[in-house]
Structure formats: structure tokens, C-alpha cells
Amino acid sequence: MTSERRAVLAALPPEDRPETGPAKALPATPSAKILGGRIPPQFMVAAMSLTQTALAAIFRDEMGDPARALAASMAWNKLLLLNLNALLVGYLLPPRTPPREPAGPRSAS
């Protein structure tokens, strides 16, 4: 850790420091060995739902034809759900493990 970062962290109130605040529950690096991701899946689903609702309202307000607005909303819903599916796959896969060396005697060189 750099001295500048230490100084900044020391100046923060204890509840705002990453090691003691809400950020402590989240890994600091993507290489952290956890199953899933940093954001709980229910929040990802809720965010996608809010996005779908917002897009439907935008299409309704901006497009003159309700049938076209519905078609656009349905198309975007499919694209958003594909993205959500790809993001949630990380919650189902086991954590990565480093490759193991083959078993057996090692020859002396």
C-alpha cells in the first residue's frame, strides 16, 4: 500500500474505511476466491427488472405506435435477459482452482 493511500485511509472516520465499512464484505480484487460475484444475484435481477421497466416506459413515451413500443420492449427484454444469464453463470460455476501437477515420481535431471 502506498504512503498516500495510508494517509488518506488514516484521515477517514473508522466507519468509512474500506476495511471496517460495508466494503469489507466485498473482495478488493477480481482474483478473490469466492463462488459467484461481488454483487448478490437478487440485486442483479432487481437491477435488470428496473432497467426493463424503465425501457418500456421510454419506448411508450417516445414511440408513437404502441405496437412498435411493445415490440421494442420485448426485444430489449430478451437482450437484457441474455446478459443477465451470462452474469449469473458465475454464481453457478465452482471457483477456479490452479492446475495440478501430474502425479507420479519425478525423475532426477
Q: Where are the domains of the chain?
A: 34-92
pLDDT, mean of each 10-residue run, the chain (109 residues): 66 63 45 57 86 92 92 92 84 75 67
27: DSSP letter: -
Q: Is 65 left (phi over 0), alpha (psi -120 to 50) or beta?
A: beta
Using CA atoms, how far apart are residues 15 and 13, in angstroms rounded to an integer?
Answer: 6
- By the 10 Å C-beta count (0-12 exposed, 13-18 middle, 19+ buried), 59 is classed as buried
Predicted TM-score of the model (pTM): 0.49
Are 29 and 88 contacting, i.e. CB atoms less than 8 angstroms apart?
no
How many CB atoms are closer than 10 A to CB 69?
19
pLDDT of residue 26: 45
